[in-house]
Homo-oligomer: A and B are copies of this chain.
Amino acid sequence: MNKKIRVAIVGYGNIGKYTLEAINQAEDFELVGIVRRYPNEKQPQELSGISVVDRLEALEDVEVALLAVPTRSVESYAKEALSRGIATVDTFDIHGDIVSLRNALSQVACQNNTTAIIAAGWDPGTDSIVRTMMEAIVPKGITYTDFGPGMSMGHTVAVKAIDGVKKALSMTIPIGTSIHRRMVYVELQEGYSATDVIQRIKGDDYFKNDETHVLIVDDVDTLIDMGHGVHMTRKGVSGATHNQLLSFDMKINNPALTAQVMVCAARAALRMPSGAYTLPEIAPIDMLPGEREQWIKKLC
């Protein structure tokens, strides 16, 4: 066995917990520690024996930091790590802002001779790899990405912010051709009118362009399940030949898959030249541990 990859986890919410599990299962990694805001509070049992600190620089010789932080905090955490020469992996998921994040982090990464792998979840992330491959081998045609059924983190947060909502869950339901229905489950705050709250949700920017159904329920917590899925299709033309049909499907535990993708991307981070990269810019084999030949033998 070669020298292990010295990794830190930054943030310990839902994704952070699954990232710890994925690292514990990956024999080529060695966890240096976890960065949390309040390291002196009582830590959950699974962190006993693990260094929990409040700043990355309190951990020694970290090679790569897995940023399990909210998307809007990614850039600042990444820049801080990169400026110390530590490679980063993030799951930044605002599709329209990926190019500008890449430019911002590329500069810092290059200046510090390190790498950032960005948007390294499953969408954006591994789905992007599949879309890229589909676009290449069927260059004319349409790709549809249908998500779910599964909980949308972004939409759930948006509903929770609405006046009168105590707890909420927004489920994404695929109805084909990249169109989605929103099924929103809401616990009302006392004294609020269901009709008013429903109206506010349906008028929110997150929901106003989608078919949205709001259901008032007694207990949102009993509905929550981390399963998710995607169905991607492309029908098009290779060369001059029409009706080429491709599809990719997943039914997965969402945070478990996200965490596993981050761990794979961390391997690639240490193999790439300085810079910032999305997953389609990485040779897929670099996401696997060890030497290439064994994998070519098995997978080609």
Contact = CB atoms under 8 A, between A and B. Distances in A.
A267 to B, nearest CB: 8
Interface stretch (A37-45, A73-81, A159-167, A275-283): A275-283
Interface in A103-145: 119, 122, 124, 126, 128-133, 135-140
A68 interface: no
A249 B247 contact: yes
Contacts of A129: 129, 133, 284
A241 B256 contact: yes
Contact of A25 (B22, B139, B243, B297): B139
A99 B102 CA distance: 35
A244 interface: yes
Contacts of A98: 296-297, 300
A240 interface: yes
A287 interface: yes
B264 A241 contact: no
A140 to B, nearest CB: 8
A284 B284 CA distance: 8
Given A126-B133, A252-B245, A259 B239 contact: yes
A246 B24 CA distance: 23
A238 B250 contact: no
Nearest to A265: B136
Nearest to A124: B300
A277 to B, nearest CB: 8
A299 interface: yes
Interface in A227-271: 237-241, 243-253, 256-257, 259-261, 263-264
A283 B285 contact: no
A217 to B, nearest CB: 27
A287 B253 contact: no
A131 B19 CA distance: 22
A50 to B, nearest CB: 16
A5 interface: no
Contact of A99 (B133, B260, B293): B293
A281 B297 CA distance: 13
Given A25-B237, A133-B287, A248-B249, 12 more contacts: A95-B300, A122-B137, A130-B130, A135-B299, A136-B287, A137-B264, A138-B257, A238-B257, A244-B257, A246-B252, A278-B300, A280-B300
13 contacts: A129-B129, A135-B299, A137-B264, A239-B263, A240-B256, A244-B253, A244-B257, A246-B250, A249-B249, A280-B284, A280-B296, A281-B283, A281-B285
Interface of A: 18-19, 21-22, 24-26, 95, 98-99, 102, 119, 122, 124, 126, 128-133, 135-140, 237-241, 243-253, 256-257, 259-261, 263-264, 278-285, 287-288, 292-293, 295-300
